[in-house]
Structure 1
Amino acid sequence: MISTVTEDLKQFWVQDQHFWGHIENSKWLLYVSNVLQKSLIAAQRLYDDKTVVVQEYDGRDLCCVVASLTQLLLDPHYRTIVGFQSLVQREWVSMGHPFCSRLSLVYSSDNQQSPVFLLFLDCVWQLINQFPTHFQFTETYLTVLWDCALSSIYDTFLFDCERDRGNSASVALGNPPLILRSVWDEITFGRDAYLFYSPFYHPPQPQKSHTMLYLPVQYQISCLSIWQQCYFRHMPVLEIKGGGNPQIDLFARILLSQTENENHLGNEMMPIESLSSVGSFFPFSPFSASSSTNHPSALLLSSLSLNASFHSTEIMLDSMSMLNAPD
């Protein structure tokens, strides 16, 4: 797989001329669409009180994606921060998704790289984008989670299975135990944690009946968007200074803090006069309107390629980098 890095603005504008061609060739949105479609079908079947079996070769990749998304569509609990944490911990960590191999955290001649977890996070972002009042967490929470998965310092995303995780903490092998923190301990607390809570979230009201409802996600490619915060945040030339979704988010937080006692939204609120310097990639862009555009930036969705496939489906998830497929 070829990964192209734009070293200067001239190279960026050359690549920009073929932007939509690169998107089309990568088929990334097609993969997102297919995963959302499979998850919606599963949710509809469960809603109709039918049994659903999700199957693949080893059950540790796309099974995790579809099973997790199906539960997000059906159960409001998993759309909260605590619920989403328990979902990832159970369906991905405990069930043995091979994070180390898929993210290529350790070099191996047997290359098994595949951005399966990123595919899942992208699908979750599509849900947030379509149903902003149904999710307690924000896209910033998802972006930080993806960064943590790539950082190689958290126990949560560092191993391929529970056995490897247990061996790392054992002294029986003659090596000192590896002591790492859980990612949930790291990102749940801190002065910026308020950015993980959505000001648009409206907790569901208790249902008089026990009938499950599900989110009717629009999975068609025409209804999907590119996750700009995650993929384009390292490209200052693409940032909207003093605009974009962060402006809407922050003004909503200010309004809520003035009208309601929303402690988790307003404890670390920035002054209104500072909002003009907030760009569309906030909080991942410099907190200044004069950020430089000279450092290298990658037109990449990921340097990984999808190498898994659905059973009994027409597409193979073997994508190249989102913006670097050849014309």
Structure 2
Amino acid sequence: LLFVHDARWVGGSRVNADYRLSDTYPALLAVPWEVSDELLTACAPHRSRGRVPVLSWLHPESKASLTRASQPQVGVQGRRSAADEELVRQIRAANANANSLLIFDARPHANAVANKGRGGGVENPTYYENVQYMFLNIQNIHAMRAALTKVFEACFPRPEDGRWLKALADSKWLYHIKQIIFNHKTSVLVHCSDGWDRTAQVTSLAMLMLDPFYRTLRGFEVLIEKEWCSFGHKFAQRTGGPADGVGRPSNPDERSPVFLQFIDCVWQMMQQFPHSFEFNERFLITIMDELYAARFGTFLFNSEMQARDHGVRERTVSLWSHIALDYKSYVNPLYTPAEVSGHRVIFPQHSLAQLQFWTGYYIRWHPIMRLQEPVARRDRALVDVMKRFRGDSRVLTSNLDAQNTPVIAN
């Protein structure tokens, strides 16, 4: 997953092969080729949970990079780390087409500053050369959990209750969806507090917009495995499962619909670009259903290390293997590959007016509300109509050609 076709980056650093650098990071890390294992080891104490800046994605042409990390441990004393400053400099220098780096902090500014009291905080631009800083104002897991609770409270009054739409608006769920969607053009480093919730949302959505591979069915599976599973999104705790995937129960405060929010964002993008995604709505709903059903090993644990220690590959079946058995039912019939359409990059509209409530997921089991015709069925019917139209047009063209062909008398 981390093989990089670029001389400026090393796609297989094994400094974390035993998970000692960071027990929530993958075993293989992609870093600039000049970065040594010693530098990464020296940098780790300055980043929360040892989650040092590493590569998520590299633009194949511009060489602009998308890297991810956790917050720096600056604290109220404003601690510095020469190793961290050098690592960030090397990431900036690896992009030969730009001399600056943009750091996206996914948190609201006030939250980031407040983290200094707990030993965290933000990078000091004085110590990081040619670095610009931007806050994305994405709320934390507790705000997301409260928003989802309000969504469900809004969905189950009677549909004729005039308060339904107001309750949905008051939940601010779509507002949070809007805040996550963004685009960028230069090398970017993304982090939040620990780097396994909001950071995963931001990097994943950016990769979906910028790289058509991740909009294919296989590519989306790779995206989830890499940006979410390998980089330590705490699936077990966020879904209310055992804290370590098998034993003691999770703290209820650790529950949050972070991954659901990401999937909702993907669905929003699919509504705006119905020809750009190889997979359909059923694929997204299946992923969410199996996330909570816990039938497969894909989402059982909080990190790659936990999954390895519990023998996930040997003792469980992957969700992706299950999906592969019925691959065609998850394919979008309207999909047009980027090589044909020319739309390699997509930029979704993010105003609230352009966003929709995902009725196909949130209220599909509602006992009263009548859902619209399933999108997948409608799309298949549309494709059938188009095929018949093409067939009729070919017959008509053939008949016209026959009528216009001059007859040569003997």
Question: What range describes the TM-score normalised by the shorter chain of this pair?
Answer: 0.5 to 0.7
Q: 1:27 aligns with which of 172, 176, 179?
A: 172
Shift of 1:246: 4.3
Shift of 1:164: 1.2
Q: 2:356 aligns with which of 213, 217, 225?
A: 225
In structure 2, C-alpha distance between the alignment counterparts of 1:3 and 1:103, rounded to whole Å: 17
For the pair 1:254 / 2:396, whether they are aligned, the reply is no
Q: 1:72-221 counterparts in 2 under 5 A?
A: 72-106=208-242, 107-109=249-251, 111-169=253-311, 179-190=315-326, 193-205=327-339, 213-221=344-352
| Structure 1 unaligned regions, length at least 5 | 171-176, 261-327
| Structure 2 unaligned regions, length at least 5 | 1-145, 243-248, 391-410
Structure 1 residues 149, 141: CA separation in 2 closer, same or farther (over 3 Å shift)?
same
Q: Larger Rg: 1 or 2?
A: 2
Q: 1:29-68 counterparts in 2 under 5 A?
A: 29-36=174-181, 39-40=182-183, 42=184, 45=185, 50-68=186-204
The letter for the 1-side match of 2:345 is Y
In structure 2, C-alpha distance between the alignment counterparts of 1:108 and 1:247, rounded to whole Å: 39
CA RMSD of aligned residues (A): 3.0
The 10-residue stretch of structure 1 (84-93 or 245-254) with the greater mean CA deviation from structure 2: 245-254
Structure 1 residues 16, 138: CA separation in 2 closer, same or farther (over 3 Å shift)?
farther
Of structures 1 and 2, the one with the larger relative CO (CA 8 A, separation 6+) is: 1
Shift of 1:257: 6.8
In structure 1, C-alpha distance between the alignment counterparts of 2:275 and 2:263, rounded to whole Å: 18
Shift of 1:155: 1.1
Q: Which structure dedicates a bigger proportion of its chain to strand? A: 2
Number of positions where the alignment pairs a residue of Structure 1 with one of Structure 2: 236
In structure 2, C-alpha distance between the alignment counterparts of 1:14 and 1:198, rounded to whole Å: 31
The letter for the 1-side match of 2:269 is L
In structure 2, C-alpha distance between the alignment counterparts of 1:179 and 1:116, rounded to whole Å: 27
Structure 1 residues 111, 15: CA separation in 2 closer, same or farther (over 3 Å shift)?
farther
The 10-residue stretch of structure 1 (102-111 or 119-128) with the greater mean CA deviation from structure 2: 102-111
Shift of 1:148: 0.8
The 10-residue stretch of structure 1 (119-128 or 107-116) with the greater mean CA deviation from structure 2: 107-116
Structure-1 residue corresponding to 2:365:
234
DSSP-derived class of the 1:54 partner: strand
User: Percent of aligned positions with the same letter in both sequences?
Assistant: 29
TM-score by length of 2: 0.52
Structure-1 residue corresponding to 2:63:
none
The letter for the 1-side match of 2:253 is N
In structure 2, C-alpha distance between the alignment counterparts of 1:62 and 1:215, rounded to whole Å: 21
